[in-house]
Homo-oligomer: A and B are copies of this chain.
Amino acid sequence: MKQKLTLHPHRLFSSDSVQREIAAGLYEQIRDLPIISPHGHTDPEWFATNDNFPDPAHLFITPDHYVFRMLYSQGVTLENLGVPRQDGGWTEQDPRKIWRLFAEHYPLFRGTPSRGWLDYVFATVFDLDVQLSAETADHYYDVIDEQLKTDAFRPRALMDRFNIEKIATTEMATDPLTHHASMKKDGYLSRVVTTFRPDDVVDPEKAGFAGALERLGEITGEDITIWDGYLAALRNRRAFFKEHGATATDHGHVTANTANFDRAACEALWETVRSGKATPAEAELFRGQMLTEMAGMSLEDGLTMQIHAGSFRNHNARLFDKFGADKGADIPLQTDYVHALKPLLDRYGNEPALTVILFTLDETVYSRELATLAGHYPCLRLGPPWWFHDSPEGMLRFRHQVTETAGFYNTVGFNDDTRAFLSIPARHDVARRIDCRFLAQLVAEHRLGEDEAAEVAKDLTYNLVKKAYRFD
């Protein structure tokens, strides 16, 4: 039996009638605000070339580890889902077969955010009105595939339709930023900016580090064999990224550890690292020192700094060998911030001109560490719930655990952090609804006035994002 697909106007609000009405009223005031997407992993080529997206399977399934990891966890192979193999071995090529396999397993997503995002896209972007199932798989495939080929589904048309005012992509330090350069020429850089992510040249344990360093030296013309030259090269690239719209940097480290060595120690550490002789402990110290250096450069050039810490990347060794990175096998780690950030904070923590946005995959630090640190240090702000926690329950836990100590104004609104462009409105809609739901509870329990809640809702949706990411 085909089930109707509908999106209830009050979805994600509390079912308590008092709270629901307040939430709906707050939401009405922010639902049409433009989307600001200050951090994510969409491909700049989409926006530069404005080409159509591929078929449904290669749009929704094969590139999205949120989706295929769930099927994998229940015994479906990645080959059958069309995920490319590193060794070029067989993987399903027929997009319709991949789509059908996905559709059959759609019940696995019950209760997950992926289900909510997908249904939102199916209903609002593709006007589908029955639920996805084995039975409706072909109907879905045909309807989506047909629309994807039209001009109305080109990236820039969707940017307008989705009301995305500004979106940031993320590129490594040695990236040539070709697509942003092209958008600079045609004026689209006002809407699609880059973000400076220097992991490739600051993490000695990253595959390809030596090569990336070499390129860094070549591109910038700096003598990276000495500490000062290396720092100058980084400054050079930061300036280049700023010219291509960047207002922020991003740092993806396993820990949040920072260090604060003196010049001589830094020079010695750099010599060790550069020569490829760093032990894991030295590599960790170096990454930590570089976070502090990046904070210092942010004070100079005004780039907001983002720290995404605490993911054990590629936990599944065999899967990594076969399929490479980003295959749904990155597992969160318990993460310390109190000791880890102290060296950076000792040096720059009291600078109100610096903005460091913290992200975590370890929810136990929300009330204990992140809220208390951000509720004191002028430079610290809290990023929204990240990755696995970018979900209704995750967002509620974040607001419930963070707000009392850090308030609303030490947070920075929502990040979709996605490579799935079509899901962006869905994700922002969840965040807006959950923020309104949380605020509605405060209002219904007489902990906050309704007019104040409306002001906060607008700030969380729009103003705090622009301020934190300096999009003004």
Residues on A close to B: CB < 8 A?
3, 7-8, 10-19, 69-70, 72-75, 107-113, 116, 131, 312, 315-319, 328-329, 331-334, 336, 338-339, 342, 345-346, 349-350, 352, 361-364, 367-369, 371-378, 380, 388-389, 391-394, 400-401, 403-410, 441-442, 444-449, 451-452, 455-456
Q: Please give the distance in Å from A413's CB to the nearest CB on chain B.
A: 15
Distance of A352 Cα from B76 Cα, bound (Å): 9
Given contacts A108-B407, A318-B346, 17 further A-B contacts (CB under 8 A): A11-B445, A11-B446, A12-B445, A15-B18, A73-B376, A73-B378, A107-B455, A109-B407, A110-B408, A113-B404, A316-B345, A316-B350, A328-B376, A331-B376, A333-B368, A392-B447, A393-B404
Contacts of A11 in B (CB 8 A): 445-447
Looking at the complex, which one of B19, B315, B368, B388 makes contact with A361 (CB distance below 8 Å)?
B368
Contacts of A455 in B (CB 8 A): 107
**Structural contact, B331 and A373, CB atoms closer than 8 A:** yes
Contacts of A445 in B (CB 8 A): 11-15
**Structural contact, B350 and A319, CB atoms closer than 8 A:** yes
Distance of A22 Cα from B86 Cα, bound (Å): 48
**Structural contact, A69 and B10, CB atoms closer than 8 A:** no
Q: List 26 A-B contacts (CB under 8 A).
A: A12-B445, A13-B445, A14-B445, A17-B18, A73-B374, A73-B375, A73-B376, A73-B377, A74-B352, A74-B409, A107-B455, A109-B407, A110-B407, A111-B404, A111-B408, A111-B442, A315-B345, A316-B345, A331-B338, A331-B376, A332-B372, A363-B368, A367-B388, A367-B394, A371-B388, A388-B405
**Structural contact, B368 and A452, CB atoms closer than 8 A:** no
Contacts of A448 in B (CB 8 A): 110-111
Q: Please give the distance in Å from A230's CB to the nearest CB on chain B.
A: 28
Q: How many copies does the complex hold?
A: 3
Contacts of A316 in B (CB 8 A): 345, 349-350, 376-377
Distance of A342 Cα from B449 Cα, bound (Å): 48
**Structural contact, B452 and A107, CB atoms closer than 8 A:** yes
Contacts of A329 in B (CB 8 A): 376
Distance of A446 Cα from B116 Cα, bound (Å): 10
Q: Please give the distance in Å from A24's CB to the nearest CB on chain B.
A: 12
Contacts of A333 in B (CB 8 A): 338, 368
Given the known interface contacts A380-B73, A392-B447, the answer about A334 and B331 at a Cβ–Cβ threshold of 8 Å is no
Contacts of A391 in B (CB 8 A): 404-405
Contacts of A380 in B (CB 8 A): 73
**Structural contact, B447 and A116, CB atoms closer than 8 A:** yes
Contacts of A403 in B (CB 8 A): 111-112, 393
**Structural contact, B452 and A15, CB atoms closer than 8 A:** no
Contacts of A339 in B (CB 8 A): 312
Given the known interface contacts A380-B73, A388-B405, A451-B3, the answer about A369 and B332 at a Cβ–Cβ threshold of 8 Å is yes
**Structural contact, B75 and A3, CB atoms closer than 8 A:** no
Please list the 5 inter-chain residue pairs (A to B) with the smallest Cβ-Cβ separation, ordered nearest first. A75-B352, A8-B446, A15-B444, A11-B446, A15-B18
Q: Please give the distance in Å from A14's CB to the nearest CB on chain B.
A: 7
Contacts of A371 in B (CB 8 A): 388
Chain B residue at minimal CB-CB distance from A65 = B376
**A109, A329, A407: most-surrounded residue (chain B CB, <10 A):** A407
